[in-house]
A = this chain, B = another copy of it.
């Protein structure tokens, strides 16, 4: 069956970009292993072979996607006293966990992609390296002062764990709206306590 849609204009840059965005969405919603080249290609309306030509291997595509995401530093920009509140809001309410295109979720996307593919042995090296370079190290530096490394581990642990808990519980759907608010507030307070020491 041939779909009667307009053919994609021949534009390598645009196509490459479209592939990158489709892949980003896929890697945000599924693990490295579960994302297929053919799936991404279908999303774009292109043959899977083209991805190999433009990006090389699947791992290279994954790397390109991670590079195209916002850096972990973006999570820290803003008033330091609001860090807990900002991050808690992002995790509890952010549509980030659903990978929509809202500017709010944008900042979490890189981290969420990493969390999705945790556990995949094929992606482990890349995930470990990126998590450290892009998140742990900047966070440690940003926290600064005594025991910065230790506090960074704790803060990132809470953030990652809550992001995962969100996935495990379908976006905290079992909680009432009021409970979600208290979850946000408690998490904000705990997180702020961890980075303030």
Listed in ascending order, the chain A residues whose CB lies under 8 Å from chain B are 30-31, 33-34, 115-122, 127-128, 131-132, 136, 147, 149-151, 153-154, 156-162, 164-165, 167-170, 172, 174-175, 179, 182-183, 186-187, 190, 193-194
Contacts and interface: CB of A to CB of B under 8 A. Distances in A.
Contact of A157 (B31, B122, B164, B182): B164
B150 A183 contact: yes
A119 B167 CA distance: 9
Question: Within the oligomer, what is the number of copies of this chain?
Answer: 2
Given A132-B169, A157-B165, A168-B127, A179 B149 contact: yes
Contacts of A120: 31, 33-34, 119
A131 B190 contact: no
Contacts of A167: 118
A132 B117 CA distance: 21
A118 B121 contact: no
Q: Is the interface of A mostly helix, strand, loop or mixed?
A: helix
A162 B169 contact: no
B165 A160 contact: yes
A136 B151 CA distance: 25
Nearest to A197: B186
Contact of A186 (B33, B131, B150): B150
A154 B168 contact: no
Contacts of A175: 149-150, 153
A169 B116 CA distance: 17
Contact of A169 (B122, B153, B179): B153
A168 to B, nearest CB: 5
A171 to B, nearest CB: 12
Contacts of A187: 154, 157
B132 A168 contact: yes
A187 to B, nearest CB: 6
